[in-house]
Structure 1
Amino acid sequence: MNDFYSVTAQPSRPMGGRRGVFRPGHVQLPVSGVTPNVETHVAIAGDWHSSGYWARQALKMLQEQAPGVRTLLHLGDFNLTANVPWSAYRRNVVEAMTASGLERIFVTPGNHDDWGQLGPRFQAHPNEPYRLPKTQTIAFLPRGYRFTVGGRTFLSLGGAASPDQGKRIEGKDWWRTEEPAEADAARALAGGSADVMLTHEAISGGSRLVDDVIARPNHRLFDERGLDASRRSRAIVTDVWTQLSPARLFHGHMHVRAEGHHSAGRSVYSLAANNSPGNIGVLDLRDLTWAWLD
């Protein structure tokens, strides 16, 4: 891809008027026509489930509380080509981005993003994000993709298992390729350590609240085949987290806001779904501190 966007070592406006040490860095982002700037903060958001209303609310919140942010990292279930009117949702997101000053969204795909589209694209181009047609400012990241923002390294390992797959239609709203596989884990591990890991799938032992949710599945909604797939998917992502030991891991999928703080200063954050507090926050790239936006 020949139109990656590179950030030069020029300071941008810091959030809240604070000044600190700006780190030079680059963003390998497949967008064009944006003004280079060094970023000190990025936003991270959980599942939106193709809610145009919530996309507008979340980005309005971001504009009001963190007006200097230019990049949002989305943790999946953005709902690529969902059953709801996709073009209207996409238009709502792009309009909200323009209104908020947000320049780009990187999506770590979830289980409800169309792996019928994403799987073949990523298989053919495993190191190339998929840019949404007609936007050029929203990109879905292949599993194991790495990029740098503000001097911090990020690893994206998307996908998850649908525990309710027995109630879904394969190829329409459930895909066998939605789960991360051993080959995806090997690709992620091959790149070595990263500061921040972005996943859709939860990890085991990440936070007490998420572990409690996992331990008490809703058997009226989830069948054993789906729960087995969830265990398998979660084990793969947990193994990558364990081996790479990133300082921060952010995930969606569980629809709850939660934090888990571990030895050596490592932390795991679970982001809630649309229409819930804890769906979006801001990561300070200078010291990796996290602030929820509510």
Structure 2
Amino acid sequence: MNDDVEVRVAIAGDWHSSGYWARRALGMLHDQAPDVRTVLHLGDFNLSSNTPWAAYRRSVMEAMAANSIERILVTPGNHDDWSQLGPRFDQHPGVPYWLPKAPGISFLPRGYRFEIGGRTFLSFGGAASPDQGRRIEGKDWWGNEEPTEADVARALAGWTVDVLLTHEAVDGGTRLVEDVIARPNRRLFDERGLSASRRSRAHVTEVWTRLAPRRLFHGHMHVRAEAHLPDSRSVYSLAANNSPGNLGILDLTDLSWSWLD
């Protein structure tokens, strides 16, 4: 995947199957940045095989057509159906999964590198569901939703990149995310899920630390936040649907970021 023409791209946080929010977000994007035609989505797009998925998919596709969005490239989250994604990525290693009934929407495998507008990107998706104790494995959480040491090794085997796209947060990222991590909702999250989350963050943090890209964008934590490090790197946490901070614009000429609210 290589496109040297685009100057700006949009980046979006979790949408959680909200057709309403997809229409609103893409409409806002077209109003404020009509030149943008690619959305980099940070997961919990909510790929599924359930009946509501078909209606949501139609809403997204209609919103894409109405607002001149050519492609949405998804870095999968923990609430994207890994019973579909895992086998697909295993069968076709390193190849994005373009949805057969949704032209222009693609899910990216972990460690996938690509280029847009002369900037290099790495997609490293997945995260652990901290509430997996309240879910049913194989139905609404999956063991392979969590990145592994092997995934980390594959990601680190390639060249460095300008931008890292993840669903999972990193340790030591933004202050607001660190506050969320430090105060988990014990009524929803059990120790098994929290332990998996710590392990998942450690894997993503290793990729972030060792590759040292200039920008990191993640979702999952449902808060808008940013941090700018002494070495000129920056971390951005995007909020979830129906919240300010779910969408922004990355300028590929200088990697500057602007929030769209």
Q: Output the TM-score relative to the length of structure 2.
A: 0.98
Determine the structure 2 residue equivalent to 1:267: 234
Matching residue of 1:239: 206
Task: Give CA deviations for 1:29-74 in whole Å, capped at 9, x if unaligned.
Answer: xxxxxxxxx0000000000000000000000010000000010000
**Structure 1: stretches of 5+ with no match in the other structure:** 8-24, 26-37
**Structure 2 residue aligned with 1:104, among 57, 71, 91?**
71
Q: Please give the alpha-carbon distance, in whole angstroms, between the structure 1 residues aligned to 2:132 and 2:140.
A: 9
1:42 and 2:9 are equivalent in the alignment:
yes
Give the AA of the match of 2:100. Answer: P
Equivalent of 1:198 in 138, 148, 165: 165
User: 3-state DSSP class of the match of 2:249?
Assistant: strand
In the TM superposition, structure 1's runs of 4+ consecutive aligned residues that sit over 3 Å from their partners are none
Q: Secondary structure of 2:80's partner? A: coil
1:1-294 aligned at under 5 Å gives the runs 7=3, 25=4, 38-81=5-48, 83=50, 85-294=52-261
Q: Per-residue deviation at 1:136?
A: 2.1
CA-to-partner distance for each residue in 1:78-119, whole Å, 9 max, x for gaps?
000164611110000000001111100000000000000000
Question: Is residue 50–residue 82 contact of structure 1 (8 Å, CA) maintained in 2?
Answer: no
The aligned amino acid for 1:292 is: W
Runs of 5+ consecutive residues of structure 2 not aligned to the other structure: none
Which protein has the larger Cα radius of gyration, Structure 1 or Structure 2? 1
CA root-mean-square deviation? 1.0
Letter of the aligned partner of 1:191 in structure 2? Answer: G
Give the CA deviation at 1:123: 1.1
C-alpha displacement of 1:192: 2.1
Taking the aligned partners of 1:136 and 1:51, their CA distance within structure 2 comes to 19
Q: How far, CA to CA, are the matches of 2:205 and 2:51 in structure 1?
A: 32
Counterpart of 1:16 in structure 2 is none
TM-score when scaled to structure 1? 0.87
Residue correspondences, number: 261
Query: What is the identity percentage for the equivalent residue pairs of Structure 1 and Structure 2?
Result: 75
Letter in 2 for 1:101: S
Secondary structure in structure 2 of the residue aligned to 1:263 = coil
